[in-house]
């Protein structure tokens, strides 16, 4: 396809296809050099149902450059002519220059006999410009960005299309889709190395990039790229956080915590390639801080790097609902983790607004993190865990004391003692609350449940 927005750069945001039978597990997008046009063979036979239809086809032995490779799943086939038409939103949006040609191709590296619906008699108009059928040979079942594909002769025209979005100048204040996080240069650029193989996610930590939006718009997605498929026991999570900080307030601190806007868990064996969480109605303002995070249940998660170094931070917990303390994990991280924001550029000073906890400090997602983290002069996972356990004990004892006083006043002369099972219930309840807020690692509630079960088992055994 040729960029349909005449004399304007554009972004390819989605690709559609009609699938007749079989399947496809990879989408590969490649571009022809800017300012040139591929040679087309017109009057090429293209109907697989008879009738002698003719279309345009890209001639063989021409080179296209690969700009995006994505793993796709969930495609359905109709098993009939006309195909099952479906649209895929790209995890990595591709920028296309004015009048540039782009190829959207599908691969099936699992099944041999796979076909995508060919055009029928309605396509018999080779004089139409702006699109043509194409077959690309990549010489490998695992093509990579910056690689190449060579056109091959072919006789069919696949039913494939794309959605293009205008890309306006930042200076003019028009719409813009911009990549944030660690996108590589130019975005998106991935390399075969990885920086996460040695990350011990077993310690219950979340890694995240923080950045400040210079757009008024919406977050489209957060994406990472798996270097290898995950094992069947693995779980990893992607998430988006936002923080609106006032003057002299540092983001993702007690003064201006980041709040979880959306998260998604990926479970089991996930294929290598781009994995993306599509954002749902997450708006951002110019000057607002955003965090994009990755965490896993077990160590061994393999994420591809980019060709640029961006400091990455960490906090304790698995995708905590609020990040009020963080520390630098790696000042030169190359972990590929990025998000796209679409909106308008506003030239001026970012708004000075108090953070969410500054506006209303009544929520437990503000109170509990503040109580726990204020006990740590130097924020570490061990300090936060120790402080959280201290407050669990203090709150349990305090609640039990208030409950006992209340009962004594409500029932004068009573000898009801709010202890035993009630103490255990309160203690476990606070453990779950602190774990839910990401203030305690996952091993703490598991250990507590084991201990409580052991004691309760012995207690029951004495009464039998």
Torsion from C-alpha of 41, 44, 48, 49, nearest 10 degrees: 150
Residues 296-335 pLDDT 10s = 999 999 999 999 999 999 998 889 888 888 889 998 999 9
The label of the residue with tokens 């012995």 reads: 458
Contacts of 232 (CB under 8 A, 6+ apart): 268, 269
Query: Comparing C-alpha atoms, which of 440, 337, 267 is closest to residue 92?
Result: 337
| Cβ count near 5 (within 10 Å) | 16
Is residue 158 packed enough to be buried (19+ CB in 10 Å), middle (13-18) or exposed (0-12)? buried
- Quick one: pLDDT band at residue 351, thresholds 50, 70, 90? very low
Please state the pTM of the whole predicted model: 0.49
Residues 163 and 149: their CA atoms lie apart, in Å, by 22
What is the enclosing helix (H) or strand (E) of 190?
Answer: strand 190-194
Burial class of residue 186 in the structure, from the number of CB atoms within 10 Å of its CB (0-12 exposed, 13-18 middle, 19+ buried): exposed
Would you state the pLDDT for residue 5? Answer: 74
% of the chain beyond a pLDDT of 90: 22
DSSP 334-363: -B-EEEEEEEEE--SPPP----HHHH-TTS
Residues facing 266 on adjacent strands: 236
CB 324 within 8 A of CB 369: yes
The pLDDT value recorded for residue 422 is: 79
CA terminus-to-terminus distance, the chain? 78
Please give the Cα distance from 177 to 62 (Å, whole number).
Answer: 30
Q: What was the pLDDT predicted at 356?
A: 47
pLDDT tens-place string over residues 379-426: 556 777 888 889 889 998 888 888 888 877 777 766 656 566 777 888
Q: Characterize 320-353 residue by residue with b for buried, 16 or more Cβ atoms within 10 angstroms of its Cβ, and e for exposed.
A: bbbbbbbeebbeebbbbbbbbbbbebbeeebeeb
Write the pLDDT tens digit of every residue in 102-145.
999 988 888 765 555 545 444 555 555 778 888 889 888 888 88
Residue 336 clears pLDDT 70, i.e. is over it: yes
Does the structure show a pLDDT above 60 at 146?
Answer: yes
Q: 342 - beta bridge partners?
A: 177, 218
Q: Considering just the CA atoms, what is the radius of gyration of the chain in Å? A: 28
Highest mean pLDDT among 12-16, 234-238, 314-318, 352-356: 234-238
Task: Find the helix or strand (DSSP H, E) in which 401 lies.
Answer: helix 381-410
- H/E element, 366: helix 364-373
The pLDDT of residue 358: 47
The pLDDT value recorded for residue 169 is 39
Owner of token pair 């349990």: 396
Tens digit of each residue's pLDDT (9 = 90 or more) over 355-368? 445 444 556 766 78
Closest CA to 77 of 24, 17, 19, 160: 19
pLDDT digit string (tens) for 37-46?
A: 899 887 666 6
Q: What is the mean pLDDT of the chain?
A: 79
Indicate whether 341 pLDDT > 80: yes
* E strand or H helix at 392: helix 381-410
How far from chain centre, in Å, is Cα 285? 20
Instruction: Average the pLDDT over 372-380 and give the result.
Output: 68
């Amino acid at each position: 396809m040729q960029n349909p927005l005449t004399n304007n750069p554009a972004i390819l945001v989605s690709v559609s296809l009609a699938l007749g039978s079989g399947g496809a597990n990879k989408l590969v997008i490649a571009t022809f050099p800017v300012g040139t046009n591929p040679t087309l063979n017109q009057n090429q036979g293209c109907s697989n149902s008879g009738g002698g239809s003719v279309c345009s086809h890209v001639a063989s032995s021409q080179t296209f450059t690969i700009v995006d490779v994505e793993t796709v799943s969930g495609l359905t086939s109709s098993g009939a002519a006309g195909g099952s038409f479906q649209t895929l939103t790209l995890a990595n949006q591709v920028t296309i220059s004015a009048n540039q040609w782009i190829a959207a191709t599908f691969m099936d590296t699992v099944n041999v006999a796979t076909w995508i619906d060919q055009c029928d008699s309605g396509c018999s108009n080779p004089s139409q410009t702006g699109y043509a059928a194409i077959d690309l040979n990549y010489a490998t079942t695992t093509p990579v960005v910056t690689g190449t594909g060579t056109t091959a002769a072919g006789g069919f025209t696949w039913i494939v299309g794309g959605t293009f979005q205008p890309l306006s100048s930042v200076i003019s204040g028009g719409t813009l889709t911009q990549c944030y996080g660690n996108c590589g240069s130019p975005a998106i650029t991935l390399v075969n190395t990885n920086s996460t193989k040695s990350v011990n996610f077993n310690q219950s930590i979340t890694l995240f990039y923080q950045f400040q939006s210079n757009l008024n718009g919406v977050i489209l997605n957060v994406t990472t790229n798996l270097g290898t498929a995950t094992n069947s026991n693995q779980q990893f999570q992607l998430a988006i956080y936002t923080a609106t900080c006032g003057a002299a307030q540092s983001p993702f601190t007690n003064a201006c915590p980041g709040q979880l806007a959306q998260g998604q868990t990926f479970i089991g064996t996930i294929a290598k390639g781009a994995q993306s969480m599509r954002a749902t109605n997450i708006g951002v303002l110019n000057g607002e801080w955003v965090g994009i995070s990755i965490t896993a249940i077990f160590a061994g998660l393999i994420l591809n790097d980019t060709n640029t170094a961006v400091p990455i931070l960490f906090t304790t917990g698995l995708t905590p609902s609020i990040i009020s303390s963080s520390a630098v994990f790696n000042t030169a991280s190359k972990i590929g983790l990025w998000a796209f924001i679409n909106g308008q550029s506003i030239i001026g000073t970012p708004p000075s607004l108090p953070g969410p906890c500054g506006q209303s400090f009544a929520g437990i997602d503000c109170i509990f993190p503040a109580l726990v983290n204020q006990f740590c002069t130097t924020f570490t996972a061990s300090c936060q865990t120790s402080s959280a356990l201290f407050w669990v004990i203090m709150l349990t004892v305090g609640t039990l004391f208030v409950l006992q006083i209340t009962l004594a006043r409500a029932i004068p002369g009573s000898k009801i003692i709010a202890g035993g099972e009630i103490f255990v219930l309160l203690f476990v309840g606070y453990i779950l609350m602190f774990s839910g807020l990401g203030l305690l690692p996952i091993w703490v509630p598991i250990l507590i449940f084991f201990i409580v079960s052991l004691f309760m088992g012995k207690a029951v055994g004495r009464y039998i």
